[in-house]
Amino acid sequence: MDNLVIKNARICYNGSLIFKDELYIDGITGRFTPSPTNSQHITDLRTIDMENRIIAPAFIELQTNGCFGMHFTNFVDEKSYDENLQKVSKYLVQQGVGGFYVTLPTVETVVFKKILPHLKPRKYNGGAELLGAHCEGPWLNPSKKGAHDATLMQIPSQTSIEQLYGDGERVSAIKMITLAPELDGSTRLIESLSKEHDIRVSLGHSAADFDTGLVALRAGATTMTHIFNAMNPLHHRSPGLAGLIASDESPYFSLIADGIHLHPATLAMAYRASPHKCILITDSVEMAGLPDGLYPGHAQIPHQQRKQGNKITIEGTDTLIGSCSSLDECVRNLVQWSGCSLAQAVQCATENITKLMGLRDQGIIEVGRRADFVVLDDTVQVLETWIGGKPVYQKA
């Protein structure tokens, strides 16, 4: 494959737009290089003129429960599950996503053990890379269950990682776990997950107060899951977990920027408190990409689900299940509602996640990293997506 030189592009880097005369990609490794490799003659270069369009790192989806008809807890057999993951992978690049973490909510132990072996990191030809699993449960507070099944929630002091998720091979697929830090045994569990298993611990679905949150951070927790949702509200005398975003020990935190889970003003306030720790997520479910209507339940929710635009609720209730927003839409919303720049919003779907998760290949456009990037216009519309220096999606 020819080496590439990309000319006349504006690059999103560290929250700024930087004009780049030339950007080189090694045709063999699919990685960014400082210049054409010594083994190639200048005539071997293929030139692409971006005509001042924007190049951003391909987006990273930290929390998705499913999309395009697949809920990640719905396991029928190995073959169909793996085929559906590949379909999801190819669907996500249409929204500029180059890597995704499969979120497994609170389900029965047998479901965790059955699915986790299929969620080890892997690449898909022409699609987004599967980066591992994010287990959102079952160590959650039943009083903040949201759409989770409270009967399946567990107490850390009474259970072990192996009991709930399985052996070491299964646990190795887990890259993040969301838990409630006020539960008995949580501090020891956080220490074990973060130090012994190299799993990122996120605080969420919790009624913890501010001080309990600080203890959890000092034990090794590094982020918070969809802040303001499924936790105590921010109060001027009792800030709760949400108050941690303005503390000296501010963790990373994720926001569902769909205009349904958070009021735009709330989202803007959170972002401005700590822009370099803000992470955009969709928290999407299987109806993302499908028409409005009534849909059946699954292993997480044994009830019918109602889709109305980007809003999903348990039929007959106001309980929010997830969202149907896309990650590029969330980036556009953050720009509109917070007043931040396009590059600053992109950072919340790329670089911030890369730094939280310790990714070495994705999320930053720099020499040595894989050439996973998205081409955008000035309104954050996805025009092209490239993975490993190869185009995998082009807007018609």
Which pLDDT tens digit goes with each residue over 340-391? 999 999 999 999 999 999 999 999 999 999 999 999 999 999 999 999 999 9
For helices 264-273 and 327-338, angle between their N-to-C axes, nearest 10 degrees: 80
Phi, psi for 153 (deg, rounded to 5) = -75, 150
Cis amide leading into 264 (omega within 30): no
State mean pLDDT over 1-30.
92
State mean pLDDT over 122-140.
97
**103 vs 309, which has greater pLDDT?**
103
The predicted-structure confidence for 296-340, as pLDDT tens digits, reads as follows: 887 777 888 999 988 989 888 988 888 899 999 999 999 999 999
Q: Taking every pair of C-alpha atoms in the chain, what is the biggest distance, in angstroms?
A: 67
Query: Mean of the per-residue pLDDT values for the chain?
Result: 94
Among 310, 286, 290, 309, residue whose Cα is nearest residue 299: 286
Q: Is 198 a catalytic residue?
A: no
Which range is least confidently modeled, 29-43, 126-140, 256-270?
A: 29-43
Is the torsion defined by CA of 357, 362, 364, 369 positive or negative? positive
What are the distances in angstroms from CA 149 to CA 63, 154, 214, 260?
A: 18, 11, 27, 22
The predicted-structure confidence for 191-246, as pLDDT tens digits, reads as follows: 999 999 999 999 999 999 999 999 999 999 999 999 999 999 999 999 999 999 99
In this prediction the pTM is 0.95
Over pLDDT 90: what percentage of the chain? 83
SS3 85: helix
Phi, psi for 26 (deg, rounded to 5) = -75, 125
Over pLDDT 70: what percentage of the chain? 98
Q: What is d(CA 394, CA 391) in angstroms, rounded to the nearest whole number?
A: 7
Q: Encode burial over 205-240: b for 16+ CB neighbours within 10 A, e otherwise.
A: bbbbbbebbbebbebbbbbbbbbbbbbbebeeeebb
Question: What pLDDT is stored for residue 21 in this prediction?
Answer: 86
137: left (phi over 0), alpha (psi -120 to 50) or beta: left
Given 26, 149, 258, 283, the catalytic residue: 283
Question: What pLDDT is stored for residue 39 in this prediction?
Answer: 47
Q: What is d(CA 70, CA 67) in angstroms, rounded to the nearest whole number?
A: 5
Q: Give the count of beta carbons closer than 10 Å to the beta carbon of residue 119.
A: 24
